[in-house]
Amino acid sequence: MIASMPVIPHCLHLFQDCQDLCQFLLNCQQTLTAINPIKIVSISLEIPSVDPLAILQHFYVSDGVHFYSEKKYHQNAHHPGQDLAIAAFDSSLHLTIEGRDRFSRAQKFMASTLENTIAIGATHLPFAGPHFFCSFTFFDENLSKNAAFPAATIFLPKWQITRQNNHCTLVINTPLNPQTNVPTLSHTIWRQIQTMTSPHLLDEILTDFSSSSQPKHQINLNNPHQFQKSVIDALKSIRANHFTKIVLSHAIDVTSTRKFSLTNSLNNLRKFYPDCYIFSTSNGKGKNFIGASPERLIRIQDGELITDALAGSAPRGKTPAEDIIFANSLLCSEKDLREHRVVIDFIMQRLVNLGLTPHCLPSPHLLQLSNIQHLRTPITSQVSDNIHLLEILAELHPTPAVAGLPRDIAKSQIRHYENFDRSLFAAPLGWVDHQGNGEFFVGIRSALIDGNQARLYAGAGIVEGSEPDKEFAEIQLKLQPLLNALV
């Protein structure tokens, strides 16, 4: 369900100066009551075009929370074709959750927040109004008390910059209570707006950094022989009908001579892998999870849902002729098509269980990235207002593309085979807006960065017909995006 939220119609010139802003916030403060002593005021403004990553670089602090996402969308029947980048940072409201009810509790948090939110300004613009940014770990409970991320993190940012093609929307979400010093708050907001729209930031171009200039030392968390042994053991279990598929991941720890640069690494990723979701999110304690994921988990826009079945992989060829051979081999591979079909059937059934009527094409097509290609099948459905995006997300995560089948058995076996914490690897990251729209991708091809140390993750689906050495080679291929980009 979508929560109600007062919206004040758009004014062409919302605030002429800081005094106008202060008076408006004072008026909002006067509406507070003993029953509702706190309100969020969400102000949306159209600003000159700016690079959200440059904004993040300018305002990034290691102990602050942030969410960054960038994606180039190709025009198709489900998307008009556009470039989208979002940077959200600082927190107006923040919630962390452990346990199996994390999706429903996150939904309730969003609803209760919106009931006490006033939206004003250019609310007609794309990505105007309050947005909640979320990360969910692969498992719903952390085994370690020192886990890098809680099972769920949801925050409403104080500052959100979105660039869609060349149009930019700034959203400011500020909490008000009876004790708020409104003149001081107004001055802080006004000064920040002036900084964000200054010619210096509008024209800022991130510097290119080569990963080759920074020596890095690698350590395999589970050595190649151990990974291949796990694949052999998993295949024995598959033949014994304990499960039909399991996704096993491999991780490497990388140490550099100096601290990794978050924004420069992201800048590299978006140049190397423009067809992926380039992303970063933080835990507020100095650790950042970044990556270049090809996999959309769910997108809802104006009642239309689209999700992807993504499973089955092959390398790209070194020549056009070799590339065609690899592509045709993937499209005709009985093993890869069977693995892909498992994911389609799972997603379709889960959507049907929610009362939806999903549709998909009869055969997959290729998603071709710079170093790897995948079988991909988009799945669409109409969604009514009484089904929240997070309800669907709870049903879908984790799909067989990142866990296996049967899902619960595969999840338990993953913890048996893997000797490290997956954290946000292969888990949902994304956003939900005040109208129930949103988008989540899967945190694969990713790395957890802490100072000059990084843990890189990649996984491979194991089904009947998998070969241990080929699965490990696929893992190495998937690790390359982060290895090449980290600086």
Instruction: Give catalytic residue positions.
Output: 245, 295
Least Cα distance to 349 among 338, 361, 357, 337 occurs for 357
CB-CB contact of 29 with 180 (8 Å): yes
The H or E element spanning position 457 is strand 453-462
Tell me, rounded to whole angstroms, the distance of Cα 340 from its chain centroid. Answer: 22
* CB neighbourhood size of 257 (10 A): 9
Q: State the Cα–Cα distance between residues 366 and 397, nearest whole angstrom.
A: 23
What the block records as the tokens of 294 is 């090809």
Q: State the Cα–Cα distance between residues 200 and 120, nearest whole angstrom.
A: 28
Which 3-state string (H, E, C) describes 362-420? CCCEEEECCCEEEEEEEEEEECCCCCCHHHHHHHHCCCCCCCEECHHHHHHHHHHHCCC
CB-CB contact of 51 with 396 (8 Å): no
Least Cα distance to 385 among 305, 321, 306 occurs for 305
Which 3-state string (H, E, C) describes 19-76? HHHHHHHHHHHHCCCCCCCCEEEEEEEEECCCCHHHHHHHHCCCCCCEEEEEEEECCE
Please report which residue ranges of 116-197 form alpha helices under DSSP H.
182-196
In Å, how far are 27, 309, 378, 483 from 363, measured between CA atoms? 58, 11, 10, 33
Cβ burial of 454 (10 Å; 0-12, 13-18, 19+) is buried
